[in-house]
């Protein structure tokens, strides 16, 4: 659902740059939002030129096609449930009476910054995540490895698995299915980031040859240092995703 933000402006007013600056800072181009700048019908061409100059200054060549210039005022440019950006008390009262949501600054509406896992999900397709770990070992390191793999899978990061188990233990059928599913994934080598987990000191170096043979770049290998992942699954996924972003 597209979020509609509307505001009444006049060409040449400082409010034009202020509202554009807030919008560009808080909302990504091409996202699920649209900003409508409403102004006098006779001044729309002048307003459009001013907006373009400001956007050129703020974002350069980035395409903010989700900014519209319309005639009238913010109330006419919006509907019930939309946001009206205004510092005018009378316009704010009229907006509220009409079922709009009046706010003084767009900054109050900007979505919270995406976490590391969300940013990695956006990159899937040219960045792959793989875990280098003793996933089938009946040991604390094996249990840690499975916990991390499960956290990444549940976070939607589609992890691949490079299993370096020495002595496999018996696992629950559901866990076996998870490991087989992850082992079947092979991220494109050019964009793959490998995270080592549950490895002894120097463990990643010991397997460097196999990674190179698989086309993995050595500078795309990171180690999850903690022996036991702390926190719930989402916390673990965030920590691993942060390592992935660090390697890019």
- Highest-confidence range of 27-31, 214-218, 236-240, by mean pLDDT? 236-240
Say how many CA atoms lie within 13 Å of 67 toward its Cβ.
Answer: 25
Closest CA to 188 of 125, 106, 112: 125
pLDDT in tens, 80-97: 888 999 989 899 999 988
Surface-to-core class of residue 172, CB atoms within 10 Å of its CB (0-12 exposed, 13-18 middle, 19+ buried): exposed
User: For 195-221, b where at least 16 C-beta lie within 10 A, e where not — what string?
Assistant: bbbbbeeebbeebeeebeeeebeeebb
Round to whole Å and give the CA distance between 200 and 99. 61
Closest CA to 164 of 116, 231, 210, 129: 210
If pLDDT is split at 50, 70 and 90, which confidence band does 180 have?
very high
Percent of residues, the chain, with pLDDT higher than 70: 85
**pTM, to two decimals:** 0.54
| The CATH number, out of the four listed (1.10.10, 3.30.70, 1.20.5, 3.40.50), of the domain defined by the range 3-108 | 3.40.50
Dist CA 20 CA 6 (whole Å)? 12
Q: How confident is the model at residue 61 (pLDDT cuts 50, 70, 90)?
A: low
Q: Is the pLDDT of residue 209 over 80?
A: no
> Is 3-108's fold the same as 116-247's?
yes
In the chain, where the domains are located? 3-108, 116-247
Q: What topology does CATH give the domain 116-247?
A: Rossmann fold (3.40.50)
Cα Rg, the chain, nearest whole Å: 25
Q: Return mean pLDDT, the chain.
A: 84
Average pLDDT over residues 204-213: 71
Higher pLDDT, residue 103 or 218: 103
The answer to whether residue 107 scores a pLDDT higher than 70 is no
**pLDDT on residue 64:** 58
Q: Which among 5-14, 18-27, 184-193, 220-229 has the top mean pLDDT?
A: 5-14
| pLDDT surpasses 80 at 128 | yes
Q: What is the mean pLDDT of residues 157-172?
A: 90
State pLDDT tens for residues 196-207: 888 877 766 777
């Amino acid at each position: 659902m597209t979020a509609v933000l509307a505001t009444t402006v006049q060409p040449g007013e400082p409010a034009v740059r202020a509202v554009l600056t807030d919008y560009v800072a808080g909302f990504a181009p091409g996202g699920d939002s649209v900003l409508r700048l409403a102004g006098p019908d006779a001044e729309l061409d002048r307003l459009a030129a001013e907006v373009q100059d400001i956007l050129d200054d703020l974002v350069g060549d980035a395409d903010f096609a989700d900014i519209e210039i319309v005639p009238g005022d913010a109330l006419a440019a919006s509907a019930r449930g939309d946001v009206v950006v205004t510092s005018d008390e009378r316009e704010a009262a009229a907006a509220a009476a009409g079922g709009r949501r009046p706010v003084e600054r767009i900054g109050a509406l900007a979505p919270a910054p995406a976490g590391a896992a969300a940013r990695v999900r956006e990159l899937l397709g040219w960045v792959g995540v793989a875990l280098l770990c003793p996933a089938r070992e009946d040991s604390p390191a094996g249990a840690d490895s499975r916990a991390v793999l499960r956290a990444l899978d549940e976070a939607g990061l589609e992890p691949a698995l490079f299993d370096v188990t020495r002595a496999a233990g018996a696992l629950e059928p559901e866990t076996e299915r998870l490991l087989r599913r992850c082992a079947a994934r092979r991220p494109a080598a050019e964009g793959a980031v490998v995270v080592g987990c549950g490895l002894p000191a120097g463990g990643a170096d010991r397997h460097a040859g196999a990674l190179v043979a698989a086309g993995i770049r050595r500078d795309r290998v990171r180690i999850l240092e903690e022996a036991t992942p702390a926190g719930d699954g989402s916390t673990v996924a965030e920590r691993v995703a942060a390592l992935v972003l660090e390697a890019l």
